[in-house]
Amino acid sequence: MKLGYYLSIKPKSFSESWNFGPKRNQIKNVRNLIKVLSSNLYPFQLKVFYSKNKKVEEAKLLQLNSEKAFNLLKWKCKWNMEEAIEKTAVWYKNFLLRKDTKELIEKQIREYFNKS
């Protein structure tokens, strides 16, 4: 919402890429992210494949740099990393079950903005 506001008043200054992610002390490694995600997707299951190919190495830690959002927009995370993953998984599960996600999205947005 803050980015949308700034884009409406200074589009040239804020029309660029932005990252919004967890605080550095809330970062999870890929294995933990998959664990939280899969625990919230039942009855769906994630299948993780590990490559034995030494030439293809995945990062063990994925991290967004949100410093620009923190500094320029004064943006703050309201949900911790686990909460954000859970909310995302619930949305995907409902989508995959072909449920109407509009009401869920509206509920999640209200929860987000009502959280202090």
For 41-86, the pLDDT digits (tens) are 989 988 877 777 767 676 777 778 889 999 999 988 888 888 999 9
- Cα distance between residue 35 and residue 29, in whole Å: 10
CA angle, residues 11, 108, 35, in degrees to nearest 5: 105
Output the pTM of the full model.
Answer: 0.74
pLDDT digits (tens, 9 = 90+) for 17-52: 999 888 878 877 878 888 889 999 989 988 877 777
Rounded to 10 degrees, the C-alpha dihedral 68/33/28/22 comes to 30
Domains of the chain: which residue ranges?
1-21+63-77, 28-61+79-116
96-109 pLDDT, tens digit per residue, is: 999 999 999 999 99
